Chain A
């Protein structure tokens, strides 16, 4: 069964404590893997698109990587303003599926 899952469901970090969020996918014919950020009460905001295994992209304190089975969103020295829910999504065939998200809290 095609699936996109994310772990952990929630993560609390101290400011400056680096960590990684995981997105695992079991789909055929991946056309793209995406990361979005969503703040409470708002729509998701686009972060990255990854197209093939081995690809990496960076933006400020965030770095996204992709393997054949999963993607990681690495957060280096996070700040409280990085607190949000991070969503991954997979585009495969004619399907577009979001994972359930990881709720990140960064404490000062």
Chain B
């Protein structure tokens, strides 16, 4: 089992460009999550999906959109990237009581 996989591992964008971060899990979990991690601020929840077809905002949703494509896949889209969105993005699956994280995507917006 691969667990939670994320693509790409690294990405550099120019301000205003758009991109989609992909996440997939093979653990048959209903819930999936997107976080960002910034130095000194810890992990912050962007969006989560409790089940296929549903999504909810987390602590910092502005500037992002998500799609729960099916039970396995949950994508995060930046429509118009800003330097403030430079961060490491983590996808996770599982319920709130026990989450399994992917390896992360390091995104730089110049």
Neighbouring B residues of A28 by C-beta, 8 Å: none
Number of interface residues of A (CB under 8 A): 22
Give me the 9 closest cross-chain CB pairs, A-B, nearest first.
Answer: A43-B101, A98-B43, A98-B42, A100-B42, A91-B96, A44-B101, A49-B97, A43-B90, A46-B98
Subset of 13 A-B contacts with CB under 8 Å: A32-B96, A34-B98, A41-B104, A43-B4, A43-B104, A44-B99, A44-B101, A49-B98, A87-B42, A91-B96, A97-B45, A98-B43, A100-B42
* Interface SS, A side: strand
* Total inter-chain residue pairs, C-beta < 8 Å: 50
Q: Which residue of A41, A43, A49 is within 8 Å of B92 (Cβ)?
A: A43
Neighbouring B residues of A100 by C-beta, 8 Å: 40-42
Is the pair A98, B103 in contact by a Cβ cutoff of 8 Å? no
Distance from A45 Cβ to chain B, minimum over Cβ atoms (Å): 7
Contact of B77 with A by CB under 8 A: no
* Interface SS, B side: strand
Residues 2-49 of B contacting A (Cβ, < 8 Å): 4, 35, 40-45, 48
Neighbouring A residues of B56 by C-beta, 8 Å: 94
Neighbouring A residues of B48 by C-beta, 8 Å: 96
Is the pair B44, A98 in contact by a Cβ cutoff of 8 Å? yes
Q: How far is the CA of A43 from the CA of B98 in the complex (A)?
A: 14
Is the pair B40, A96 in contact by a Cβ cutoff of 8 Å? no
A46-B99, A49-B97, A87-B42 are contacts. A96–B104 as well, Cβ < 8 Å? no
